Structure 1
Amino acid sequence: MGELRAEASGRDAAGFELPVLLFAGFRSIIDEMHRELAERGHPEVRPAYGYALQAVGRGGATASEIGRRLGVSKQAAGKTVERLEALGYVERVDDPRDGRRKLVRLTARGVDVLVKSAEGFERLRTRWVEVLGADRVRAMEADLRTMVPEGAFRLDAAGWFDN
């Protein structure tokens, strides 16, 4: 990483550095978030679980819906749901609209980890603002929104998020 930091000299960086730096920034935020969540009562949470909990949503969802929202197969979503259920973050209940289906719902523990995650991400963003300045962080966010095609974000590479 020392070679990448040397590029702050003002000359253009090599093309490979942009994705490496974006990924390293992402990992630094995610890793710090998960250290904080572990300290705040959620040591077993993995990055992919947070995305799955968000895919469950406030109203609940079926395993198929979770899979579609995450861009993974129903089977992959089902395995994640099984793990989240074993950890106490979700529960499966009969779908009140269709008794043949099971609905996955957040438990109080699932809501707690999402609330703590949101608070933690706010703290991390605040630290970036303290170091880089609010204008630079807002500009970086706007630039990334411009460059990332709408709907391009999918979690079909869940292995990237596992420790």
Structure 2
Amino acid sequence: MLIDELHAELAKQGHPDMRPMHGFVMQAIGTRGTTAVELGRALGVSKQAAGKTVEALERVGYVERTRDTADTRRKIVRLTPYGVDALDRSARIFDDLRAQWAAELGEDRLRALESDLRRMTPANLWRLDTPGWFAGL
């Protein structure tokens, strides 16, 4: 429900192609960029699977591939301004939705729910599989 609401609002704000997994991948790419090999490691997938995801994100304009200035044999995947905008809007929308939940449940009750969910989440869970608030960040 929360993720569906977030993506519906994100679509209204100019990002109709954004999917839940895209956000996790784009967070893994980060502000400095990464290679497909490093991205695959961060996501726990093969270089080929990471490459296919990068291709999909590139087609919709969220990322671009450039040559590494330090090593021209390497290609770096970087967020485009459109990709950065999607992540920024996503964070703001999430904060607004969380605030709605806090208004409905009460801040103390929501914090307790978040705490309970963190407690039930395995410590070795793939770190990009949860929103930042869930990981306590």
TM-score of the superposition, structure 1-length normalised? Answer: 0.75
State the shift of 1:155 in Å: 6.6
State the shift of 1:118 in Å: 0.2
Q: Equivalent of 1:53, from 15, 18, 26?
A: 26
* Paired letter, 1:67: G
1:71–1:154 Cα contact (<8 Å) kept: no
Q: Equivalent of 1:39, from 5, 9, 12?
A: 12
- Structure 1 or 2, whichever has the larger Rg, is 1
2:37–2:47 Cα contact (<8 Å) kept: yes
Q: How many pairs does the alignment contain?
A: 129
Task: Work out which structure has the larger RCO, using CA pairs closer than 8 Å and 6 or more positions apart in sequence.
Answer: 2
Once the two structures are superposed, residues 74-109 of structure 1 have per-residue CA deviations (whole angstroms, 9 ceiling, x without a partner) of 111100100111111111011123211100000100
* Paired letter, 1:62: T
Tell me, in whole angstroms, the C-alpha distance in 2 between the residues paired with 1:136 and 1:46: 29
2:39–2:50 Cα contact (<8 Å) kept: yes
Identity of aligned residues (%): 59
RMSD between aligned residues: 1.5
1:33–1:121 Cα contact (<8 Å) kept: yes
Runs (4+) of structure 1 moved beyond 4 Å?
A: none
Which residue is equivalent to 2:94? 121
Which residue is equivalent to 1:105? 78
State the shift of 1:70 in Å: 1.4
Question: Which residues in structure 2 correspond to 1:1-163 (within 5 Å)?
Answer: 28-153=1-126
Once the two structures are superposed, residues 88-138 of structure 1 have per-residue CA deviations (whole angstroms, 9 ceiling, x without a partner) of 111101112321110000010000000000001101100110111100111
1:33–1:120 Cα contact (<8 Å) kept: yes
TM-score of the superposition, structure 2-length normalised? Answer: 0.89
